[in-house]
A and B are shown apart, each in its own frame.
Chain A
Amino acid sequence: MKKLDMEKKIETALNSLDHVCRVGPGPFFYTRVQTRLARKERTIWETISAFIAQPAVAFTVICLIISMNSLVILQRESAPAITEQNGSLPADESDVDTIAFYDEENNNTDTQ
């Protein structure tokens, strides 16, 4: 290809966009915009409920609840030993001699 031909071809290409017509989107464009807007306009609660309703999320939550329940049950099985140990505490605490306490108080008032 000669240099002159090349220049002519480049110039033709550069001018190929002259008098180009403006084109628009397909029909019912506004309806599609509305649909998109509606999709975006979901409230925060709708978004949260949609998230929770997802099978993966629901399954994980169920698994979590089951495992927490089993953990509590397992802890309860070992619980009697703890209650026995702690069971003596209230007995010791209730072993306060109330009469002796009042006597002590009376003694104090007598000395005053």
Chain B
Amino acid sequence: MSEWILIEQLRQGNETAFKTIVETWQDMVYNTALGIIQNAEDAEDISQEVFVQVYESINTFKGEAKFSTWLYKITVTKTMDHIRRKKRKKRFAFIQSIFGINDEIVHDPPDFHHPGIVLDKKETAAELFKAIDQLPENQKIAFTLNKLEGLNYQEVSEIMNTTVPSIESLLHRAKNNLKKLLEIYYREKYNTDKF
């Protein structure tokens, strides 16, 4: 069934159309959220939120861009909101622990292992994900969409509401930053300064 027919049916409140939409795009939404947030539970939560938003605001979708682009935009926005909320909670818990209100210890998250990566690359990919997590927001989004979702510069620029050259420069900076972060990480890991 065509994308447009489904959207039109969803606008009329058709539950079957909504089910088809969820089942068609759930992997795309979940994989994107997972790549950015690096936590399976949070990615599931975000994916649910995304489809609830789709159901509620399908009438605002004008059809100027592709439906998948609109979905990517919602996913990225929701994921970044979730990250900001998490950071706020973490800061609040830290302040509480200073004043002795909350004695819970704030643990650093364990290494993230993406389930879609082959076994022999898992360890190296986990090191890369650690570095990605330290990138600035925009670089992190652009890199994840390009590398994990395999989107080209044009598609990434549409999702991020920017131009193709700015995405090129964003990805270039992201790669340079990742190289630096990985270098620091490997230096610490192998405890050496000699090159």
Query: When the two chains form their complex, are residues A6 and B128 in contact, meaning their CB atoms are under 8 A apart?
Result: no
Query: When the two chains form their complex, are residues B52 and A12 in contact, meaning their CB atoms are under 8 A apart?
Result: no
**Nearest residue in A to B19 (C-beta to C-beta)?**
A30
Q: In the complex, what residues of A have CB within 8 A of residue B52's CB?
A: 33, 36-37, 40
**Given A23-B34, A30-B22, are A6 and B186 also a contact pair (CB < 8 Å)?**
yes
Q: In the complex, what residues of A have CB within 8 A of residue B147's CB?
A: 17, 20
Query: When the two chains form their complex, are residues B116 and A21 in contact, meaning their CB atoms are under 8 A apart?
Result: yes
B137 proximal to A (CB < 8 A)? no
Query: When the two chains form their complex, are residues B148 and A10 in contact, meaning their CB atoms are under 8 A apart?
Result: no
**Given A16-B128, A17-B128, A23-B31, are A29 and B22 also a contact pair (CB < 8 Å)?**
yes
Shortest C-beta distance, A8 to chain B (Å), equals 11
- Chain A interface size, as a band, is 20 to 34
| Option from A21, A24, A37 in Cβ contact (under 8 Å) with B55 | A37
Shortest C-beta distance, B153 to chain A (Å), equals 17
Q: Which of B47, B149, B175 counts the most A-chain CB atoms under 10 A from its CB?
A: B47
Bound state CA distance, A13 and B189, in angstroms?
Answer: 14
Determine, out of B93-101, B102-110, B119-127, the stretch whose residues face the partner at the interface: B119-127
Q: B residues 177-195 with Cβ under 8 Å of A?
A: 178-179, 182-183, 186-187, 190, 192, 194-195
Measured CB to CB, the residues of A under 8 A from B are 1-3, 6, 9-10, 12-14, 16-17, 19-26, 29-30, 32-33, 36-37, 40
